[in-house]
Structure 1
Amino acid sequence: MAQTPDLDVRSLAPAQRHSTIFDTWFALAPGEAFVLVNDHDPKPLSYQFAAEHPGEYTWDYEENGPEVWRVRIGKTDNTA
């Protein structure tokens, strides 16, 4: 089984983070995932996914702070 790649956005400017994360997600094939590495809880991002892509993504915390958050974000087979 292939290792899930990390997307570490901690060095990116805050204004670049969401677009980079969504670009990475859009490039996934159904069933694939990446691990988002961030310096804060990306909960607002989960709300954006829920609003814009309901049922099309998975969201699983692997590490929940206090200094590093790791979230496995995947693409389901429900994407158009």
Structure 2
Amino acid sequence: MADNRVVQGRMQTPESLAELVEGESVMDAEPIEDADRECPECGGNVLEVGYMPSAMEFVTGYKCQDCDWSEVDRD
């Protein structure tokens, strides 16, 4: 299973994708998966990555493969 995915024309690792969503460096990230949804801005494919921005927090980030849209779910 390939961990890296192309996002907006650039290859991203789970960590670099998580950093794109979070806007700063993260401690750890899980493999990138396809989210079962379309981008609300452009209708493109949305990727999902679970990551830890800090030792005490785990969040799920969503990022469109085609445009700048992203969202974080901090449950």
Task: Between the two structures, name the one with larger relative contact order (CA 8 Å, sep ≥ 6).
Answer: 1
Verify same fold: TM over 0.5: no
Give me the TM-score of the superposition, normalised by structure 1. Answer: 0.25
- Given the two structures, how large is their TM-score scaled by the length of structure 2? 0.26
- In terms of Rg, which structure is larger? 1
Q: By percentage of residues, which structure has more helix?
A: 1
